[in-house]
């Protein structure tokens, strides 16, 4: 049960006042970083600014309190922007709340059935493909605010959006661009002056100060979205119907998938930085509870945020207390400073998201993957372009299907599950069997004996080769040896073909012998009722099978 025990309960056994102080400082700094990001990501996702804060406060607190990582910081992330925007545009905000709630339930189930390690095995080209695609979509979505074009009803389609930008290029507002460019400059170069104070905070403060005191005609959060609420809403359980479940199950699955992958990737990165080991199944359960909590207060999907988690570590955070302090600090900002938040220019938030998009793009990894084998490159580019031009859901589905087919092809080809034919009737018997058998040095007549060696997992991708080889057994063969020493596992399709091979041998009056069968294949054959047909013809080694053949011929 340790896998389903929150990390907080373990670290508190050796907690000290010194670490408590470090966690408080780290939590406050991370909250300052998270404030503009949470607001900007909410706006970019097509929801009200405060929804991002609700997400970081409620979802972030629950995930830190119950999570399986010591240092994970959770909140809204750029990876969810495209899927959230799509759900809101298609099903409305109520649809997003229900999809987030359902996605949280899916994640809890994944954790309870111990799937925490399985979701880590998502092919890297898929992750890089959709992450890079999301980065490009985020960048594209911020052009309107950064340049002050004030385009109404901006298209959600990537190509149409850029057509609108080019057709409205004369509407660019110079003052808005200057504020955005100044913010971008500060974010990029401020770390050269001071690495402890976040550059995003300085950029937001400077730009807001200039717009407010110089009375600049630049769009702000307040001028666009009106007065922002200064408290958390009362939790509300969504009214879920069967029709809504049917419509939203696909986006809910994507929320669970993205949340699981991103949070576990963040946890793995943080483990390497602090020399710890997270509890993946407990982390998934906590992520699910966090998403349910976020949906109940009208928030958006929440997951582990790599950048904020790294910032937490670099500022001394080493326990979940830091993440909880981060959420509490954002709550205090919500109830006391929201009137000031309304003065933040939208172009400054666009600059923040430009940097987020650049950091998400993983362009170096993308460039490296382009040099990978052609099938991997195809999966990468397919996932990338589908994310940008079609839909993230479609991109992930197609990417996974392509990767599975690629895996099966490689297992069939590279793992050499193909049948290796060894003919004992040849004069070079010892050479064929690598000279390992002392019994083969005896002058034994082995005419009418043939062997097929299976190498690698015996599964549906290669089972047809096996049955083809059985059908092509040479005329006059009396004994057929199936070598399974190099078969670590077999599936239902392989078992079916194995049954068929027994019947084929019986019809041709061939005695079937099996050697070197391992635990998993043997157990699978026992459960399928196949072992009783070959139980007396199963041997540990080829030598034992040959002894049996020799004895049978002597008895004849």
Per residue, the 3-state secondary structure of 91-111, as one string, reads: HHHHHHHHHHHHHHHHHHHHH
3-state secondary structure of 149: coil
Within 10 angstroms of residue 343's Cβ, the number of other Cβ atoms is 17
**According to CATH, what is the number of the domain 419-555?**
3.30.750.24
Residue pair 46/343 in contact (Cβ under 8 Å)? The answer is no
Contacts of 101 (CB under 8 A, 6+ apart): 238, 240, 291, 292, 295, 296
Q: Contact 165/149 with Cβ under 8 angstroms?
A: yes
- For 68, which DSSP code? S
Considering only CA atoms, which of 486, 487, 491, 498 is closest in space to residue 531?
498
pTM for this entry: 0.78
Domain ranges of the chain: 2-212+241-406, 419-555
Q: Please, what's the b/e burial string for 244-255 (b: 16 or more CB within 10 A of its CB; e: otherwise)? A: beebbeebbbbb
CA distance 239 to 131: 33
H/E stretch holding 310: helix 306-314
Q: Cα dist. 163→61, 157, 166, 343 in Å? A: 41, 10, 5, 31
| 210 CA to centre of own chain | 42
DSSP 3-state assignment of 347? helix
Task: Give kind and range of the element (H or E) at residue 154.
Answer: none
> DSSP letter at 457?
-
- Kindly state the tokens that stand for 353: 């998201």
Question: Look-up: residue for tokens 């050796």?
Answer: 14
Reading phi first (left if > 0) and then psi (alpha if -120 to 50, else beta), residue 18 is in alpha
Q: What is the pLDDT of residue 444?
A: 45
pLDDT per residue of the chain (556 residues) written in tens, 0 to 9 = 447 899 999 999 899 999 999 999 999 999 999 999 999 999 999 999 999 999 999 999 999 999 999 999 999 999 899 899 999 999 999 999 999 999 999 999 999 998 887 766 788 899 899 889 999 999 999 999 999 999 988 888 899 999 999 999 999 999 999 999 999 999 999 999 988 888 999 999 999 999 999 999 999 999 999 888 989 899 988 788 889 899 999 999 999 999 998 999 899 889 988 988 999 999 999 999 999 999 999 999 999 998 899 999 999 999 999 999 999 999 999 999 999 999 999 999 999 999 999 988 888 889 999 988 898 999 999 999 999 998 888 898 899 899 888 877 777 765 554 455 544 444 344 443 444 444 334 434 567 888 888 888 888 777 777 888 888 887 888 899 998 988 888 888 888 889 988 998 888 899 999 999 999 999 999 998 888 888 889 999 888 888 898 888 888 6
Token pair for 460: 């549906």
Whose tokens are 């040095």? That residue is: 441
Rounded-to-integer distance, Cα 525 and Cα 534, Å: 10
CA-based nearest residue to 379, from 356, 358, 415, 409: 409
CA–CA separation, 146 and 345 (whole Å):
9
Which residues, 6 or more positions from 214, have their beta carbon under 8 angstroms from its beta carbon? Answer: none
Q: What is the predicted pLDDT for the residue at 550?
A: 86
Q: How far lies 379's CA from each of 200, 360, 487, in Å? A: 35, 19, 29
Q: Which tokens belong to 196?
A: 């402890």
Residue pointed to by tokens 């972030």:
60
Q: What angle do CA 184, 190, 194 make, to 5 degrees?
A: 160
| Separation between Cα atoms, residue 4 and residue 284, nearest integer Å | 10
The answer to whether 223 and 230 have CB atoms below 8 angstroms apart is no
Nearest CA among 303, 280, 334 for reference residue 114: 280
CA nearest to 421, candidates 374, 489, 474, 461: 474
For residue 455, the surrounding DSSP H or E stretch is: strand 449-455
The DSSP symbol for 59 reads I
């Amino acid at each position: 049960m340790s896998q389903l025990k929150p990390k907080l309960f373990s670290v508190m056994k050796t907690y000290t006042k010194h670490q408590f102080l470090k966690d408080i400082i780290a939590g406050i700094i991370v909250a300052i970083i998270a404030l503009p990001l949470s607001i900007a990501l909410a706006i970019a996702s097509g929801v009200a600014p405060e929804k991002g804060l609700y997400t970081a406060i409620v979802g972030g607190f629950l995930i830190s309190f119950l999570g399986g990582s010591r240092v994970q910081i959770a909140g809204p992330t750029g990876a969810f922007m495209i899927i959230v925007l799509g759900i809101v545009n298609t099903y409305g905000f109520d649809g997003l709340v229900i999809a987030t709630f359902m996605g949280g339930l899916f994640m809890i189930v994944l954790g309870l059935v111990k799937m925490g390690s399985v979701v880590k095995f998502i092919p890297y080209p898929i992750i890089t493909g959709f992450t890079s695609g999301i980065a490009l979509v985020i960048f594209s979505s911020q052009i309107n605010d950064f340049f002050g074009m004030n385009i109404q009803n901006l298209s959600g389609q990537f190509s149409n959006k850029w057509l609108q930008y080019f057709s409205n290029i004369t509407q660019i507002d110079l003052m808005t661009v200057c504020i955005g460019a100044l913010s971008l400059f500060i974010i990029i170069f401020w770390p050269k002056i001071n690495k402890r104070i976040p550059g995003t905070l300085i950029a937001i403060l400077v730009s807001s100060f200039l717009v407010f005191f110089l009375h600049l005609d630049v769009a702000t959060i307040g001028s666009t979205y009106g007065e922002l609420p200064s408290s958390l809403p009362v939790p509300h359980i969504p009214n879920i119907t069967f029709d809504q479940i049917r419509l939203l199950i696909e986006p809910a699955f994507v929320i669970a998938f993205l949340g699981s992958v991103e949070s576990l990737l963040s946890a793995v990165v943080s483990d390497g930085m602090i020399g710890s080991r997270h509890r993946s199944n407990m982390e998934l359960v906590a992520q699910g509870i966090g998403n349910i909590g976020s949906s109940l207060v009208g928030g958006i999907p929440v997951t582990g945020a790599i950048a904020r988690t790294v910032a937490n570590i670099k500022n001394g955070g080493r326990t979940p207390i830091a993440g909880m302090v981060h959420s509490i600090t954002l709550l205090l900002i919500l109830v006391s400073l929201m009137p000031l938040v309304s003065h933040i220019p939208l172009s400054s938030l666009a600059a923040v998201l430009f940097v987020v998009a650049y950091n998400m793009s993983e362009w170096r990894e993308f460039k490296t993957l382009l040099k990978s084998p052609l099938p991997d490159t195809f999966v990468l580019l397919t996932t990338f372009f589908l994310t940008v031009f079609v839909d993230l859901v479609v991109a992930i589905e197609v990417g996974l299907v392509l990767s599975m087919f690629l895996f099966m092809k490689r297992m069939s080809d590279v793992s050499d599950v193909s049948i290796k034919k060894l003919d004992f009737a040849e004069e070079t018997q010892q050479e064929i069997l690598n000279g390992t058998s002392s019994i083969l040095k005896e002058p034994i007549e082995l005419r009418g004996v043939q062997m097929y060696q299976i190498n690698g997992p015996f599964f549906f991708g290669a089972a047809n080769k096996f049955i083809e080889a059985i059908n092509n057994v040479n005329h006059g063969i009396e004994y057929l040896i199936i070598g399974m020493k190099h078969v670590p596992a077999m599936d239902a399709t392989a078992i079916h073909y194995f049954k068929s091979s027994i019947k084929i041998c019986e019809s041709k009056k061939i005695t079937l012998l099996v050697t070197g069968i391992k635990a998993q294949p043997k157990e699978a054959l026992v459960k399928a009722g196949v072992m009783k047909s070959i139980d007396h013809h199963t041997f540990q080694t080829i030598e034992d099978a040959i002894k049996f053949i020799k004895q049978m011929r002597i008895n004849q």
